[in-house]
Amino acid sequence: MTRTQADARAHVLAVDFAACDGHGLCAELLPELVGLDEWGYPVLHSPTVPAELLPHARRAVAACPVMALRLDRVPTPPPDRRPSRGTTAPRPTVSHGQPG
């Protein structure tokens, strides 16, 4: 897997429905991932953006007249590592006594 493919898998589309006016440009520019409901508002078929559609998703986000469509980068999880001995964080001290 190339870095470009890994980058593309880490993006998802999101719609701010409070800002959306239902212009429908997102569905025109990215019909593979965005459809329209009966009132003309976007419905995401899948929020995950495949590598081959990332440029189109960026164009659809840029073309939204009210900036209601956004492309979020999903943080990649850190590699699964077991902590070394003695590297755990100290536990917080909890007092069960009555205040003086």
pLDDT value at residue 87:
57
pLDDT value at residue 85:
63
pLDDT value at residue 8:
39
pLDDT value at residue 99:
59
pLDDT value at residue 40:
93
Q: What is the pLDDT of residues 12-22, one digit of tens each?
A: 999 999 999 99
Is the model's pTM score more than 0.85?
no
CA of 58: how far to CAs of 26, 45, 74, in Å? Answer: 10, 17, 15
pLDDT value at residue 61:
97
| Residues 78, 57: Cα–Cα separation, whole Å | 26
CA of 31: how far to CAs of 28, 53, 86, 92, 95, in Å? Answer: 6, 10, 53, 51, 58
pLDDT value at residue 33:
96
Rounded to 10 degrees, what is the CA torsion of 30, 34, 38, 39?
A: -80
pLDDT value at residue 32:
96
Instruction: Name residues of the chain where pLDDT drops below 50.
Output: 4-5, 7-8
Residues present in the chain in total = 100
